[in-house]
């Protein structure tokens, strides 16, 4: 049996509530999926959990539905941020999608000295994150900040949040050693992934001088930026996140 469709609806949801959906959501349910009155779908709002809903009426531009029951209580994910240097459009889409699936709570695009990318569109990142959360049954949407220079982001950094930066220069400690030592510590953390050309020597020097930053090696091979994001987040989740 095919799984019911799942939608992010950013309003406070509760049992027995009536829903009125328009624009893209109505089009998706009625025209793309060809659902009709009596069809069921899931909805989540990022704060109250997940709910089973029934379509009452399916029009061309509007859907009315009612919430039948709560199917899952709200579960907040781990406090892990991702800082990354945007790359080409499709690869950045991959980064946002996989970061959402892997449970990051905040995504911060950063501009480094070697960042080469097309125009950065926050709205596109948000749409990618919403779609990924809907597909993977995540209950919250990661916060996505505007792109800013790395130095600006770190200028007012909360030093209680450790920053793990991926170091392809060979000077970082092995990822299993770093995250293994951090396992069991529930403090806030962030991962920093550099651009396609890597961090400059000046950026490495700056990062290594910060007490809150730790250099991490992902092995001997040089990984693409999007591969490094998926690898680093997977390792962090396995040692420190909600996979353990």
Euclidean distance between CA atoms 240 and 162, whole angstroms:
13
Euclidean distance between CA atoms 28 and 202, whole angstroms:
48
Q: Distance between terminal CA atoms of the chain?
A: 31
- Identical fold for domains 6-72 and 80-239, yes or no, is no
- Range in 41-45, 116-120, 134-138 with the lowest mean pLDDT: 116-120
Assess whether pLDDT exceeds 90 at residue 25. Answer: no
Classify domain 80-239 at the CATH topology level.
Answer: Alpha/beta knot (3.40.1280)
Calculate what percentage of the chain has a pLDDT beyond 90: 74
Taking a C-beta distance cutoff of 8 angstroms, is the pair 214, 171 a contact?
no
- Strand pairing category for 6-8 and 50-58: unpaired
What residues does each domain of the chain span? 6-72, 80-239
Residue pLDDT, tens place only, 70-127: 999 999 889 999 999 998 878 999 999 999 999 999 999 999 998 877 677 899 999 9
CATH number, domain 6-72: 2.40.240.20
pLDDT of residue 121: 84
pLDDT of residue 1: 39
Confidence of residue 168 (pLDDT cuts 50, 70, 90): confident
């Amino acid at each position: 049996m095919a799984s019911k469709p799942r939608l992010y609806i950013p309003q406070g949801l509760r049992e027995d509530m009536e829903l009125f959906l328009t624009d893209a959501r109505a089009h998706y349910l009625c025209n793309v999926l060809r659902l009709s009155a009596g069809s069921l779908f899931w909805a989540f709002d990022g704060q109250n959990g997940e709910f089973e809903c029934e379509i009452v009426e399916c029009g061309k531009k509007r859907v009315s539905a009612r919430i039948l029951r709560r199917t899952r209580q709200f579960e907040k994910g781990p406090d892990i941020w991702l800082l990354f240097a945007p790359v080409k459009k499709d690869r950045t889409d991959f980064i946002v999608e996989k970061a959402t699936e892997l449970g990051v709570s905040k995504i911060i695009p950063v501009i480094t000295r070697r960042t080469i990318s097309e125009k950065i569109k926050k709205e596109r990142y948000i749409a990618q994150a919403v779609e990924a959360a809907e597909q993977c049954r995540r209950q919250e949407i990661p916060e996505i900040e505007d792109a800013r220079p790395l130095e600006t982001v770190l200028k007012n950094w909360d030093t209680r949040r450790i920053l793990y930066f991926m170091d392809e220069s060979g000077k970082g400690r092995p990822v299993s050693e770093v995250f293994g030592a951090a396992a069991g510590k529930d403090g806030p953390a962030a991962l920093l992934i550099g651009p396609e050309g890597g961090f400059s020597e000046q950026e490495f020097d700056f990062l290594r001088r910060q007490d809150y930053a730790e250099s991490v090696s992902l092995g001997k091979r040089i990984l693409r930026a999007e591969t490094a994001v998926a690898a680093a987040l997977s390792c962090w989740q396995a040692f420190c996140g909600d996979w353990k």
